[in-house]
Amino acid sequence: MKAVVCEAYGPLENLEYKDIDDPHVKDHTVVVRSEAIGVNYPDGLLVKGLYQMKPPTPFVPGMEVAGIVESVGSAVEKFKPGDRVAALGQLGGYAELVAVPQAAVFPLPPDMDAANACALLCAYGTSHHALKQRAELKPGETIAILGAAGSTGIAAIQIAKVMGARVIAVASSPEKQSAARAAGADDVIGYDNLKDDLKGLTGGKGVDVLFDPVGGDAFDAACRAMARKGRLLVVGFASGRIPELPANLTLVKEFSLVGVFWGSFTQHEPQTYADNMKELIGWYLEGKVKPHIEGRYPLQQAADVLTRVLDRGAVGKLVLVPEGA
């Protein structure tokens, strides 16, 4: 089969598109023939050796895939060849065939778009967990979403609206601000006067929840616009700088700093994760959430697509498509 392989940690352009052996079926394993492969920010960090997980090389990056079950192991009971599924793994996604444990596979409605299914796994899965379990977002609260035009940002906007919150979206360009507005944001602002704008839009109170996958200077400004009993969600550091929080701010403003590590959540709370996915798919079928798929690209263009994601040039979700899928 064809796959994208990281032979050694380093620049994204060193990724190789090549033939490798098909995955072996084990007792609890499901092998999926890919129709769409999700591209995520951590994939690029992993290839560069900048992620918290550092698998031995060579490896195939990629964590999410949607497609058709090709084969199943002898202990698999929930799936059979021909089923349409989405699957989440730690590695192996950038390939024509992907082997994943049965527990990480979810059934899909027959007519559900494979790219949308990929978006629901990581982007929507992260935002849903952040808002539901970590922030415990309540109806009527105000949430500010940084990086609002990215795949997790658009997901957070839509999910927050389903949960009854008021959404302030923060995005860097007119194109990205337009995408955030189209996703359902109540107010859309840029980064130039972030603290003052957030204060002004909340009548001086500040925001109840801040969703931050950006870090850097945006974190420095936004943490000074938190409401009393607010929850600042640390989702990622797309700006490239991990910020430091003056601890006295949390004391005098009485807000909480809350880490969101979705990968850890899926491993430690698999049943809650499964319940979350069931809810997300239900919202999708009801039309309450709808991923924005900016582009579908050939699998062999993985390095270029990852570069665009890491440079924060993407609006919404980007997916890879194997030849013939």
Residue 99: which of 80, 77, 72, 120 has the closest Cα? Answer: 72
Ordered DSSP codes for 70-128: EEE-TT--S--TT-EEEEE-SS--SBSEEEEEGGGEEE--TT--HHHHHHHHTHHHHHH
Delimit the domains of the chain by residue range.
2-112+292-321, 123-263
| CA–CA gap between residue 212 and residue 217 (Å, rounded) | 11
Separation in Å, CA 54 to CA 123, 218, 289: 22, 28, 33
Least confident of 130-134, 239-243, 311-315, 318-322: 311-315
Model confidence over 23-53: pLDDT tens digits? 988 899 999 999 999 999 889 999 999 887 8
Burial (CB < 10 A; 0-12, 13-18, 19+), residue 243, is middle
Top-confidence residue, 145 or 312: 145
Q: Percent of the chain scored above 90 by pLDDT? A: 83
Residue-wise pLDDT tens digits, 187-219: 999 999 999 999 999 999 999 999 999 999 999
Q: Rounded CA gap, 76 and 83, in Å?
A: 13
Domain 2-112+292-321 shares a fold with domain 123-263? yes
240 pLDDT more than 90: no
Supply 16's token pair: 């190789």
Q: Residue 202 corresponds to which amino acid? A: T
| 176 CA to centre of own chain | 17
Which pTM was predicted? 0.88
Query: In the prediction, which pLDDT does 90 show?
Result: 86
Predicted confidence (pLDDT) per residue in 298-307, tens digit = 999 999 999 9
Q: What are phi and psi of 196, to 5 degrees?
A: -65, -40
* Residues 309 and 40 sit within 8 Å (Cβ to Cβ): yes
* pLDDT average, residue stretch 291-303: 94
pLDDT tens-digit readout, 98-156: 999 998 899 998 888 999 999 898 899 999 999 999 999 999 999 999 999 998 999 99
Q: Structure tokens of 275?
A: 């319940």
Pairing of the two strands 2-5 and 187-189? unpaired
- pLDDT over threshold 80, residue 168: yes
pLDDT value of position 51: 83
Amino acid at 263: G
Tokens 């309540």 locate to 138
| β-pair partners for 173 | none
pLDDT at 175: 92
Q: Quick one: CATH architecture of 2-112+292-321?
A: Alpha-Beta Complex (3.90)
**62-79 residue pLDDT tens:** 999 999 999 999 999 999
For domain 123-263, the CATH superfamily is Medium-chain alcohol dehydrogenases, catalytic domain (3.90.180.10)
